[in-house]
Amino acid sequence: MRGPLITVVLLAGLGFSVSALGAPDPFKAQLDQAKQLRLAGDHAKSEQIVKNVLTQSPGNFRATYTQGVLQLDSGDPKTAVMTLNRALVSQKGQPPPDPTIYNTLGYALMRTGRLDEAAATFQKQYQCGCTPDRASKAKLLNNMSLVYRLKGDTAAAQKYQQEASAAH
């Protein structure tokens, strides 16, 4: 019984992406490269890698999430909303492997003017207490402050802005 658990912990400790079933993610290296290309501004190459992964693994959460981010980066928040929602639906009611998708989806919703939905989506990540790091938490809180400011709720906007300042 200990063998599989030790293997999963060891693989995770070595930097391998491990699926919920304990198997290494065969697309980790490709998706890491797609992320680096996107961050470097080479969206075309990043998109090609993501499309290749999705051809091989249509329900791949990380590839679908990355596709949504690329759509958002290219100025298409409506399509990004659909893609990011598809990534969440693919989890069949389970928590997403990367909770920052709520911040990204909330931002896309905000960009389309769907402020109430954006606020509710930001709240999902905020309330779960599952934000992976300080930088991600600060981004979430800044976005929450902005959406509440746009909604005209100055008190909530100030609250989240103060939390964001403390998170830095």
Per-residue model confidence (pLDDT) at position 163: 93
Question: Has residue 153 been placed in a domain?
Answer: no
pLDDT given for residue 23 in this prediction? 60
Q: Is 3 helix (H, G, I), strand (E, B) or coil?
A: helix
Residue 56 lies inside a defined structural domain of this protein: yes
- Mean pLDDT, rounded, for 80-99: 95
Tell me if 73 is assigned to some domain.
yes
Taking CA atoms, 116 is separated from 56, 96, 112, 141, in Å, by 36, 21, 11, 16
Asked whether residue 40 is domain-assigned, the answer is: yes
The identity of residue 72, as a single letter, is: L
pLDDT at 131: 82
* Average pLDDT of span 85-99: 93
Helix/strand/coil for 18: strand
Decide if 35 is inside a domain: yes
Percent of the chain with pLDDT over 70: 86
Please state the domain count of the chain: 1
- pTM comes to 0.83
160 is a domain residue:
no
Residue 96 lies in a domain: no
Q: What is the mean pLDDT of residues 34-49?
A: 96
Domain around 62: 25-79
**Is pLDDT at 21 greater than 70 in this prediction?**
no
Q: Can you give the CATH number for the domain in which 36 is found?
A: 1.25.40
Whether the pLDDT of residue 157 is over 60: the answer is: yes
Residue 96 has pLDDT above 50, yes or no: yes
**Nearest-angstrom CA–CA distance, 79 and 72:** 8
Please report which helix (H) or strand (E) contains residue 81, including its range.
helix 77-89
Alpha-carbon gap, residue 168 to 165, rounded angstroms: 6
